[in-house]
Amino acid sequence: MDFDFVFICISILAPQVVKLYTETYNLIPTNDYLLLANEKEKTGEYESAITYLERCNQRTQNKVLQEQIAKKIPDLQQKLANKVMNGQDTQFSH
């Protein structure tokens, strides 16, 4: 495949992909990130729970919620570390 063709395709598609991601990201209500984080924690997917809490924290202006998130993330990080140390995380067992 010609390098120029690939470069042109990437140049045309990249901004559209970024725009789509941005529009989709903004469609998710802040409280939905909390719901997702709670569900991920229940299923032991602590890394995903942390990610959702971080996204919620970035989007909220609620100081009380930000404080609660700041307290919750270290708890989830500890749970994740325990899971990895006990060999329960299949991502690291390969």
Of 24-28, 33-37, 54-58, 78-82, the range with the lowest mean pLDDT is 24-28
Domain assignment present for 93: no
Domain assignment present for 94: no
Question: Is pLDDT larger for residue 33 or for residue 2?
Answer: 33
Domain assignment present for 75: yes
Q: What digits encode the pLDDT tens for the residues 30-73? A: 889 999 999 999 999 999 999 999 999 999 999 999 999 999 99
Domain assignment present for 36: yes
- What confidence score (pLDDT) does residue 87 get? 84
Q: Which domain holds residue 22?
A: 3-88
CATH number assigned to the domain comprising residue 54:
1.25.40
Structure pTM? 0.66
Cα angle, residue 42 at apex, residues 25 and 62 outer, rounded to 5°: 45
Domain assignment present for 80: yes
Domain assignment present for 47: yes
Tell me how many domains the chain contains.
1
